[in-house]
């Protein structure tokens, strides 16, 4: 399995994940910044280096390309890779808007390749444990995701909103944990201490009778990433990725994310879901199975983002 990086902002964590994988090679890297390109090539021992992704596509036979860059730049390089018949990994958000996301999906389908999105919260140990335990007891009743930060003083001229470029992580997680598709969305979009929208609240009803709640308050006091998943006689409360508190039949206990995956507490890339996500992608390419966060599924999360933003009418 041969993979490459097309990376405007070097993601050292991704490189480290790939170096730890067996039966995978990293033969090439593409980077516009010459100094950064040389640093990465030396540190991770890339055989081929390029400043132009089209030259890389013409020169090296690759199975997978990681197109890791900001949303305003991703479309054309990703389309070129897909049209070259390469599976790609892209970070969130998948494009500058949902029209670009749809272009990427259509191109992936047309070329019979995968376009996996880095919605890593799906793969976190505490998320997987909560979904497993709730499923054992019956259907999901309620899912809640919270992703707060302090982002004040915006001028309203940002390239994309904080909902699109960041809160989308937990919108995807909400839909994934709920296990259905939205049929009713009530959303509030507010500005506090800012000319930019920085507080999003949404109530979502899914087609499987699950109720979802999204809290994305960027006018708060700091970063908080949490979720809840409730079923029949069970409720799971997650501090992502560190902890899951499980209440079941009036008994409660708490586990660390590392305990769920039976790894060292210091092995954060494992229990936060990063390694699990990349391993899943490679396994899917090898076994010709669509990844769970491929655009074929993630496009529905993007539609929900649009509904909460108010840019897609409720259907």
pLDDT tens across 184-241, in order?
Answer: 999 999 999 999 999 999 999 999 999 999 999 999 999 999 999 999 999 999 999 9
pLDDT tens digits along 59-94: 999 999 999 999 999 999 999 999 999 999 999 999
Which CATH number goes with the domain that contains 221?
3.30.360.10
What percent of the chain has a predicted confidence (pLDDT) above 70? 91
Q: Is residue 275 part of a domain?
A: no
Structure tokens at 70: 């900001």
Is pLDDT above 80 for 7? no
For residues 214 and 260, state if they share a domain.
yes
**What pLDDT sits at residue 8?**
40
pLDDT for 12 beyond 70 = no
For residue 147, being part of any structural domain is answered with: yes
Q: Does the structure show a pLDDT above 80 at 13?
A: no
- Rounded distance between C-alpha atoms, residue 97 and residue 105, angstroms: 13
Q: Quick one: pLDDT at residue 72? A: 95
Residues 196 and 299 in one domain: yes
Per-residue model confidence (pLDDT) at position 151: 96
Residues 40 and 143 in one domain: no
**DSSP bridge partners of 199:** 190, 217
C-alpha 295: how far from chain center: 11
Residues 141 and 215 in one domain: yes
How many percent of the chain have pLDDT more than 90? 84
Is the bond preceding residue 93 a cis peptide, omega within 30 degrees? yes
CB atoms within 10 A of CB 99: 9
Sequence-distant (≥ 6) Cβ neighbours of residue 297 within 8 angstroms: 290
Helix axes 274-287, 12-19, angle to 10 degrees: 60
What range does the domain containing 175 cover?
A: 121-265+295-309
Residue 60 resides in a domain: yes
For residue 30, what are the CA distances in angstroms to 40, 64, 65, 219, 296?
Answer: 10, 13, 10, 37, 26
Reported as a pLDDT band with limits 50, 70 and 90, residue 14 is low
Find how far residue 29's CA is from the centre of its chain. 22
Q: Are residues 42 and 95 in the same domain?
A: yes
Nearest to 306 by CA among 163, 94, 131, 148: 163
Q: Show which of 72, 92, 113 is a domain's final residue.
A: 113
Does a structural domain hold residue 277?
Answer: no
Q: Average the pLDDT over each of 20-24, 28-32, 49-53, 296-300 and give the range with the smallest value.
A: 20-24
Task: Please state the three-class secondary structure of 183-210 as a single string.
Answer: EEEEEEEECCCCCCCCEEEEEEEECCCC
Look at residue 25 in the predicted model and tell me its pLDDT: 81
The pLDDT, as a whole number, for residue 9 is 38
Looking at 113, 142, 161, which one is the last position of a domain?
113
Do residues 99 and 138 both lie within one domain? no
The arithmetic mean of pLDDT across residues 16-39, rounded, is 79
pTM: 0.93
Answer whether residue 279 is part of any domain: no
Which of the residue ranges 23-37, 115-129, 190-204 would you say has the lowest mean pLDDT? Answer: 23-37
What CATH number is attached to the domain comprising 79? Answer: 3.40.50.720
Q: Are residues 136 and 100 part of one domain? A: no
Mean pLDDT (the chain, rounded)? 93
| Same-domain status, 302 and 170 | yes
Question: Given this model, what pLDDT does residue 186 score?
Answer: 98
In a domain, 287, yes or no: no
Number of independent structural domains in the chain: 2
Mean pLDDT of 102-120: 98
116 vs 13 pLDDT, higher one = 116
| Per-residue model confidence (pLDDT) at position 19 | 60
Q: What's the mean pLDDT in 127-149? A: 99
Task: Name which residue leads in pLDDT, 300 or 8.
Answer: 300
| 126/213 same-domain check | yes
Residue 285 belongs to some domain of the structure: no
Task: Note whether 97 and 221 are same-domain residues.
Answer: no
């Amino acid at each position: 399995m041969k993979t490459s990086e097309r990376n405007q902002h070097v993601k050292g964590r991704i490189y480290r994940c790939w170096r730890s994988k067996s039966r995978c090679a990293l033969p090439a890297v593409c980077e516009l910044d010459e100094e950064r390109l040389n640093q990465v090539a030396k540190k991770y021992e890339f055989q081929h280096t390029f400043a132009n992704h089209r030259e890389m596509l013409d020169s090296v036979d690759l199975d997978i390309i990681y197109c890791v860059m900001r949303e305003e730049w991703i479309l054309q390089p990703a389309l070129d890779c897909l049209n070259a018949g390469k599976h790609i990994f892209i970070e969130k958000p998948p494009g500058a808007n949902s029209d670009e996301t749809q272009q990427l999906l259509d191109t992936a389908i047309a070329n019979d390749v995968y376009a996996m999105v880095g919605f890593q919260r799906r793969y976190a140990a505490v998320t997987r444990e909560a979904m497993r335990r709730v499923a054992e007891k019956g259907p999901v009743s309620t899912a809640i995701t919270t992703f707060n930060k302090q982002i004040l003083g915006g001028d309203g001229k940002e390239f994309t909103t904080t909902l699109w470029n960041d809160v989308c992580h937990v919108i995807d997680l909400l839909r994934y944990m709920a296990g259905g598709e939205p049929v009713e969305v009530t959303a509030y979009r507010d500005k506090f201490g800012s000319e930019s929208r920085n507080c999003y609240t949404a109530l979502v009803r899914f087609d499987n009778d699950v109720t979802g709640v999204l809290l994305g308050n960027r006018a708060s006091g700091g970063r908080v990433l949490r979720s809840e998943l409730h079923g029949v006689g069970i409720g799971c409360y997650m501090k992502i990725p560190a902890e899951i508190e499980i209440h079941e039949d009036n008994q409660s206990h708490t586990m660390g994310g590392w305990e769920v995956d039976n790894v060292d507490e210091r092995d954060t890339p494992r229990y936060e879901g990063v390694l699990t996500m990349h391993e899943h992608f490679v396994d899917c390419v090898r076994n010709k199975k669509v990844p769970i966060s491929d655009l074929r599924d993630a496009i529905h999360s993007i539609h929900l983002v649009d509904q909460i933003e108010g840019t897609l009418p409720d259907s």
